Amino acid sequence: MKSKFLKYHNNRLHLEDVDLGKIADEVGTPCYVYSRRSFEQAWCQYNSAFKERSHRICYAVKANDNLSILKALTLIGSDFDVVSIGELNKVIAAGGKPAGVVFSGVGKTRNEIEEALKAGVGCINLESCEEFERLESVAENMGAFVNVAVRVNPDVDPKTHPYISTGLKDSKFGVPIDDARELYRKISSSKWLNPSGIACHIGSQITIVDPILEAVGHVVDLALDLKTIGIQIETIDVGGGLGIDYRGETPPTINELVDGLCRVVPEEFKLVLEPGRSIVGPAGLMLTRVEFIKKTKDRNFVIVDAGMNDLLRPALYDGWHDVLTYCESLAGVEGDICDVVGPICETGDTLAKNRRLHVFEGDLVAVADCGAYGSVMGSNYNARLRCAEILINESSYRIVRRRQTFDSLISDEKDVLID
């Protein structure tokens, strides 16, 4: 068991000091459960690793945008990285300050840019020359001044899953680093845009520091080069945080990453980091109940009440998540090899493949490490309701997202029903 907040106590699985069986009985399954102390500690580890170095930790909202999580992070001083106006509005709804928000993303619409400028967003990360034109025209129309960073694409391989690699030259993200100088010239001659930073993000679930430092090294070279033409950058935004241990991966420690960054980036630049997965990933799990044990000649299926609409990572990226039995006594028995599957009409609806599990109909199991990119990637596929989310704080817990109701599922279709 990897999270120190997840442990067996009296034969029952607990997150912090709460018996997960109690939550399943009260709230039903499937549901996501998060440990507040776990994500707060992870955020604080990032924050304190920088010591005296000038920095900002902008939590990547896309990893988990639950309002209560955003609020808890706001309360401990987090800033935020968003990729849509919806995420920005969630940050504001949770009490976060727009001035502390970095707005990234390759396809920001005119409307989104307008709304973000109206709200007073801290920095817009530009992803193309075309977006520069759009931003400048919106800013000019509004008479608004805006800080910008260009997200550069350094063409460095992050050695992670291809779907979440973003810093190679054939990726849609960022401006090729060799084109960035010209773009900065344009930005600095704009009346409305201030070239305050350079950003880069080469991918997610990165478990080695070297590619990150290599990419950041290129960014520093660019910043120093811009200085020679009179453009003084203030911040270097190095993108997302570390990968996590889903299945024995050994990512570097937060201190190793931050020490490396502080070494590569000269002190004159303020550092911005946008971690998501490593903050909330290990802090969350999904509780699901076994509906059937279906045995065929070739395979054993544990059919549970959660599906790929609740947790998409295994289907989309072959993501591996540990599956834990609620009762410790069952965890000790070497069960049959089985596939844990959901009720959805797709073969890809497999949450875990070839696991040794000793469980029975009605048993509760926990799918580990899915606080990041879990609930946020959920959908209503097969007209299934979005599940509830629960936040634990020591021995107490709160439902921080109610299970969706059937009425809410159909509300946007009911009032426009054809005759």
Residues marked active site are found at: 345
* Shortest separation between residue 207's beta carbon and ligand LLP, angstroms: 11
Residue 180 or 303: the one with the smaller Cβ distance to ligand LLP is: 180
Sign of the CA dihedral 361, 364, 369, 373? positive
Cα dihedral angle (265, 266, 271, 275), rounded to 10 degrees? 20
**Residue environment code for 124-161, b if the CB has 16+ CB neighbours within 10 A, otherwise e:** bbbbbeebbeebbebbeeeebebbbbbbbbbbbebebe
Provide the strand spans (E) within 182-274: 193-199, 235-237, 270-273
Q: Please answer whether residues 43 and 295 qualify as being in contact, where contact means their C-beta atoms are separated by less than 8 angstroms.
A: no
Residue 273 or 303: the one with the smaller Cβ distance to ligand LLP is: 273
Token couple for 353: 């493949």
* Shortest separation between residue 98's beta carbon and ligand LLP, angstroms: 18
Provide the strand spans (E) within 118-215: 123-126, 146-153, 175-176, 193-199
DSSP string, 52-76: TS-EEEEEEGGG---HHHHHHHHHT
Residue 37 or 277: the one with the smaller Cβ distance to ligand LLP is: 277
Token couple for 123: 């920095």
* Shortest separation between residue 62's beta carbon and ligand LLP, angstroms: 6
Residue nearest to ligand LLP (CB): 240
Residue 14 or 277: the one with the smaller Cβ distance to ligand LLP is: 277
* Shortest separation between residue 27's beta carbon and ligand LLP, angstroms: 24
Angle at CA of residue 128, ends 145 and 105, nearest 5° = 80
Q: Name the residue among 81, 107, 75 with its Cα closest to residue 275.
A: 81
* Shortest separation between residue 298's beta carbon and ligand LLP, angstroms: 30
Residue 73 or 338: the one with the smaller Cβ distance to ligand LLP is: 73
The C-alpha atoms of residue 43 and residue 39 are separated, in whole angstroms, by 6
- Applying CB under 6 A, which residues contact ligand LLP? 60, 62-63, 81, 104, 164, 201, 204-205, 239-241, 274-278, 313, 317, 372-373
